[in-house]
Amino acid sequence: MFDKILIANRGEIACRVIRTARRLSIGTVAVYSAADAAAPHVVMADEAFHIGPAPAVDSYLQGERIIEVALAAGAQAIHPGYGFLAENAEFAEACARRGLVFIGPPAGAIRAMGSKIESKRLMEGAGVPLVPGYHGAGQSDGDLAAAAERIGYPVLVKASAGGGGKGMRVVHSSAALGAALAGARREAKAAFADDALLLELYLDHPRHVEIQVFADAHGNAVSLFERDCSIQRRHQKVLEEAPAPDLSDEVRQAMAKAAVAAAKAVGYVGAGTVEFLYQDGRFHFIEMNTRLQVEHPVTEMITGLDLVEWQFLVAAGRPLPLRQDQIASHGHAIEARIYAEDPAREFLPTTGRIVHLRPPAENPHLRIDSGVAEGGEVSAYYDPMLAKLIVWGEDRGSAVRRLRRALAQYELAGPATNVGFLSAVANHPAFAAFQVDTGFIGRHQVDLMPRPGTVSDEALAFAAASLLLEREQAAGQVAARSTDSHSPWHRASGWRMNEDNHQTFRFIAGEMAYPVTVHFGIGGWVIDLPDRCLTLRGARREGRAITAELDGSRKSATVVVSGFDLTILLAGASWRLVLDDPSARAGGQDVGGGTLCAPMTGTVVQVLVEPGQAVDSGQPLVAVEAMKMEHVIAAPSAGTVTEVYFQVGEQVADGVDLVGFEPAEARA
């Protein structure tokens, strides 16, 4: 076994690997970029080395620099985690040349399965069922258009390299194919340095089911059961569970057999995942991920195994710890991926400082894999996943209940997150009944997505209560220092001479304004909201947590205040409000609607217009790449582009003006 390893990654997977290494008394070396100097994985590791600026291409993708650090630190092996260099055959070979063990599969297996085109050819030869499609060498628009006509629309355009939904487009007609190919190539090139594409028939209601496989260098290979990863947005997994519900034993066994055959066909060693689409009783191979998957914890929860430990053992040349007949599954596990993103804005990634973080306490039924800490910054340079929340139950029903409760207890304020969205999924009747396929989110979008600017009455009540409690505390401190501590001028009770005692607040959420008037009474408050009236009694604050009786029912919420910004965290949902203070409003300016802004910090990858150009409503103007995704800014209406402020390759900040725009109505 190794004495010391280097983890060539960051975030929650780096922390995850360090935990197992620490349990096995293996020394750990972390690497970090300028953006991650104080990140949790840096703090957890025994040693840490700075390897470059924030952009991944200048730091976490610098394979030779990472190898030099490993050698200087005396590490014997490198664990690549997932993403970055995890499926880079050249890096695996470079490690071997320098006498380092790459804790992953052989370079040949990475090459064979890293290319979706090559892997489909191999699987076709091994008799593994494929999705009907095209994975030929011809990559011109004409080749792909002809193939799409043979397959029949709709088709799925996919990047041959990589995964995670990058370089993927659903195309419903030949007229839309050209733009989809161009966008997919750009995104694939940026994410994987490879713009080769393939086409597949787009199945209309498939499930995404995958098999965890493990192989050693002695010819042994096993499957560790299956996972269902069907709940996805932007073709990227959001919730995963194991075992996959509602599969016949015949299908499970056939799928596992095909997955092991796929691994053996390429001489696989280590942890890997063979992914299938399952529809109408049939399954089709789509790809193999030659690394540990993000969702591996659900497999660990049902098997009681540590897959990272297995990776260490196999990489050290040992045989698999168990035979296939010794591996058993117990209970049911579900993982929810917590992202810094805004579901109300089409899951647009978000950035910013984490000002409050209180996850639920871990226990035998609940696990949190996290790579962030309170006070840390979520940057635009890396994937927006913050943490994974994993629950286990004796059966699926108990696991779903635990998932709901754990999400309701997970508190994070700062950048917008998908925690409320995940709670909506977990509480949806169709999820409880496992009426699930890859179209789940789109089909139930109305139920799952928060309406922008909509704030619950309870959230408004707690926002007002937080401000009142804060003012009561401040007033008490002033009174204690005063020569007349009983003066009514020191009270925060809304006291007014010859008037009803009240206090009025005005909160802004999106484009909506919410006036809230609080009437003071004995032992509590009466709160007038836009649509109803609430009584609030016995409000108590402990840190940022507030407990009170709302209309006779005891409730608790966390309110995080930063200047005029308030974040209310209540039962798994969150609301972001701005206190509309008159003095602050007087200092503001109306910037008008004559410009189109960057949705977040990123890099301009396409400029499609020039000053003076007339455009139609919805016409693409500029494309910005951020957090590994391409975001297209389109014209909000017919009009004219008056200015173009940035060129391809330039960095832009969140909210900065990209183009000047004059609507056609303004000229009329």
Distance CA 369, CA 588 (A): 41
What is the rounded CA–CA span in Å between residue 260 and residue 215? 9
Find, among 278, 224, 253, 412, the residue nearest to 336 by Cα.
Answer: 412
Contact between 537 and 465 (Cβ < 8 Å): no
Distance of alpha carbon 572 from alpha carbon 425, whole angstroms: 12
Residues near 463 by beta carbon (within 8 Å), at least 6 away in sequence: 505, 507, 516, 559, 566, 568, 575, 577
390-421: b (≥16 Cβ within 10 Å) or e: bbbbeebeebbebbbebbbbbbbbbbbbbbbb
Report the C-alpha dihedral over residues 133, 136, 141, 145, rounded to 10 degrees.
Answer: -30
SS3 558: strand
Give me 509's structure tokens. Answer: 């959420």
Taking the CA atoms of the chain, what radius of gyration do you get in angstroms?
A: 27
Q: Which residue has the tokens 């195994």?
A: 305
Cβ(273)–Cβ(210) below 8 Å: yes
Q: List the structure tokens of 265.
A: 């066909």
Residue 481: how many CB atoms within 10 A of its CB? 9
Beta strand extents in 329-473 (DSSP E only): 332-339, 341-342, 348-349, 352-353, 356-358, 366-370, 377-378, 385-393, 411-413
- How far does CA 79 lie from the centroid of its chain? 22
The answer to whether residues 476 and 271 touch, using CB atoms and an 8 Å cutoff, is: no
CB 464, CB 505: distance < 8 Å? yes
The reply to whether 291 belongs to the active site is: yes
Strands 348-349 and 502-509, sheet pairing:
unpaired
**Spatial contact of 270 and 214, defined as CB atoms under 8 Å apart:** yes
Active-site hit among 111, 185, 233, 291:
291
Select from 546, 30, 19 the least CA-distant residue to 306.
Answer: 19
User: Crossing angle of helices 63-73/89-97, nearest 10°?
Assistant: 30
Of 367, 362, 228, whose CA–CA distance to 306 is shortest?
Answer: 367
- Location of structure tokens 């390429």: 266
d(CA 296, CA 212): 8
Rounded to whole angstroms, how far apart are CA atoms 240 and 248?
19
Look up residue 424 and give its two tokens: 């909506």
Burial of 143 (0-12, 13-18, 19+ CB in 10 A): middle
Give the alpha-carbon dihedral of 284, 346, 406, 401, to 10 degrees: -50
For the annotated catalytic residues, the residue numbers are 291
